[in-house]
Every structure is written in C-alpha cells, then in structure tokens.
Amino acid sequence: MPELSISIEVGGEYLEIKLPTVGEFIEIERRKIMLSGGTHGDMISGGTFSSLSAYQNVEMIATLEVVIKDLNKRLKVKTLNDLRPHEAILLSKEYNTKVFPWLKDWREFINQSTKTEDEEVAKITKSKEEVETDD
C-alpha cells in the first residue's frame, strides 16, 4: 500500500499532502473539467507541446488547490492560474516528481483492490448459481 501522505517543497517550506478523501478526489476531477472547459482529455491527445503543457497545468492546479487548501495564500495569488510560467515551473517539478507518481500509485492500488473485489463477487455469485442449480 502506498504512503498515506507525502511532503513537497514550496518556497523553501515543506508541506504535507495527505491522501485525498473520496470527496476530494471527486472535487479534483470536477476542477479538471472546469479548468479545461470540458476539454481535459482532448488536451493530452492534442499532440502539441502547448496542449501537453496545458494538460499538465490543469492536473497540477486542480490537484494542489484541493489537497493544499492554503497554497494560493502561501504563494500570494488568488488562484494557481495566476502564477507566471517561471513561478509555475518549480511547483510543476514538485508535482510531476512527487505528487503525480504518488497519486498514480494510489489509483493503481485502488483499481487493483476494486478488481480483486469484483473477482470475489463473481466467485460468490457463481457459487450461489451452482447451489441454486443443484436444488
């Protein structure tokens, strides 16, 4: 099981990020849709450097504004959208090297757990069907 929290460095300060709750995961996805105007998936398939960069920024902004509630205040911006590109680069490096891989590990862990549960449900259902046909 992946770690329940990680730390990232922002402006010389280490900030703890805890595993998002189910509601926070939903909020992250909602923000991705909102920030991209519903084109989040199209950004990655756009094939250009700028579309990939936009995709990565949407991922970072949607996630970090949810998991670090006061990050905007710490960075003295209204939203992370207000960061200048050179300011976003340092944050992006922390996100891409620490946060994104950590959340990816969690998503894979959750998906594997769900797959295992589905397999168990299928076995139980099959066993019940076999018992019913034996009657």
- Each domain of the chain, given as residue ranges in start order, spans 5-134
Instruction: Give pTM, 2 decimals.
Output: 0.80
At residue 108, the pLDDT reads: 92
Token couple for 24: 């926070």
Q: Has residue 135 got a pLDDT over 60?
A: no
Q: Is the pLDDT of residue 49 over 90?
A: no
pLDDT value of position 106: 93
Q: What average pLDDT is seen over the chain?
A: 88
Q: Reply yes or no on whether the pLDDT at 128 is more than 70.
A: no
- In the chain, DSSP assigns E strands to 5-10, 13-18
pLDDT band at 131 (very low <50, low <70, confident <90, very high): low
